[in-house]
């Protein structure tokens, strides 16, 4: 019914509403913005105002001085992701938004963990560090600081492994990402 180029009418029963769907997964949005005052505030304010939760947010330079890249992760179970991106697109300083599909992109985050470590436990911690290809970047008498880089899941797994030793504190960057292949993100 209703084929283009014909005069055949369209049955209303055939119509379906498409958007506004909650995908139920985490989305990584890569947002290219003009490097101007207030841009980050605009984005953060938009999320707060519309009730969208930001899981992580990373801002950094790009190869173009005039532009910055913001990588943020949002929970697609909580919010219709198309509404989030459409609202972001309305910001004049936002040039481009990519909703990166997990298998078409490389995403990494970095974390620093300060872990209780005495002579007795240090060896065991070093084994875990080895397995995760992490790095000990500071050693003190009673603590070590470990640097881990990898996917979100890997960092989570590392955290689970070392927590029983006694987590003194930690800092995580949140994810940054680029799309695979020749095309620009």
Partner 1 sequence: MMRAVDAIMECLKAEGVDVVFGYPGGANLPTYDAMYDSGIRHILVRHEAGGGHAAEGYAKASGKVGVCFATSGPGATNIVTPLTDAMMDSVPLVFFTGQVRTDLLGTDGFQEADTFGITMPIVKHSFMIQHPTEIPRVVHEAFHIARTGRPGPVLIDMPTDLTRVEIDYQPVGDVRLPGYQPTTEGNQKQIRLAAKAMANSRRPVIYAGGGVINANASSELTELALLDHLPVTCTLMGLGAFPAPHEQWLGMLGMHGTRTANYAMDEADLIVAVGARFDDRITGKLSEFAPRAKFIHIDIDPAEISKNVPAHIPIVGDAKNILGRLVQEYRGLEPEPARLAEWWDRIEQWRVQHPLRYEDSTDSEIKPQHLVQALYEATNDGDCILATDIGQHQMWAAQYFHFSKPRRWIQSGGLGTMGFGLPAAMGAAVAQPELQTVVLSGDASIQMNMQELSTLATFGIPVKVVIMNNGYLGMVRQWQELFWDGRYSAVEMSEWPDFVKLAEAMGCHGVRLTDKTTLLDDLRAALAVDGPVVIDARVTREECVYPMIAPGQAARNMVG
Residue numbers at the binding site for partner 1 (CB under 8 A): 2, 4, 7-12, 15-20, 33-34, 37-38, 41-42, 45-46, 49, 80, 82-83, 86-87, 89-95
Taking the complex as a whole, the smallest distance from the CB of residue 85 to partner 1 amounts, in Å, to: 9
| Nearer to partner 1 (CB atom), residue 1 or residue 131 | 1
Q: What residues are paired with 60 via a beta bridge?
A: 69
| Nearer to partner 1 (CB atom), residue 86 or residue 142 | 86
Are the C-beta atoms of residues 60 and 69 closer than 8 Å to each other?
yes
**Which of the 8 DSSP states describes residue 141?**
S
Taking the complex as a whole, the smallest distance from the CB of residue 94 to partner 1 amounts, in Å, to: 5
Taking the complex as a whole, the smallest distance from the CB of residue 47 to partner 1 amounts, in Å, to: 11
Taking the complex as a whole, the smallest distance from the CB of residue 68 to partner 1 amounts, in Å, to: 12
1/183 Cα distance (integer angstroms):
38
Query: Positive or negative CA dihedral for 35, 41, 42, 43?
Result: positive
Biggest CA–CA distance in the chain, Å, is 83
Q: Which residues, 6 or more positions from 162, have their beta carbon under 8 angstroms from its beta carbon? A: 113, 115, 125, 128, 146
| Nearer to partner 1 (CB atom), residue 71 or residue 143 | 71
| Nearer to partner 1 (CB atom), residue 37 or residue 123 | 37
């Amino acid at each position: 019914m209703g084929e283009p180029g014909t005069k055949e009418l369209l049955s209303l029963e055939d119509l379906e509403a498409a958007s506004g769907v909650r995908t139920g997964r985490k989305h990584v949005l890569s947002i290219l913005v003009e490097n101007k005052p207030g841009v980050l505030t605009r984005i953060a304010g938009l999320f707060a105002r519309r009730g969208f939760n930001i899981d992580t947010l990373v801002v950094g330079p790009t190869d173009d001085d005039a532009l910055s890249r913001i990588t943020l992760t949002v929970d697609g179970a909580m919010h219709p992701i198309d509404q989030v991106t459409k609202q972001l697109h309305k910001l004049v300083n936002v040039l481009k938004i990519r909703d990166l599909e997990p298998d078409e992109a490389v995403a990494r985050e970095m974390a620093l963990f300060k872990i209780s470590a005495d002579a007795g436990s240090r060896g065991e911690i070093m084994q875990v560090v080895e397995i995760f290809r992490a790095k000990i970047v500071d050693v003190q008498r009673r603590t070590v600081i470990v640097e881990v880089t990898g996917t979100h899941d890997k960092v989570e797994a590392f955290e689970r492994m070392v927590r029983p030793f006694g987590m003194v504190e930690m800092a995580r960057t949140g994810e940054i990402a680029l799309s695979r292949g020749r095309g620009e993100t």
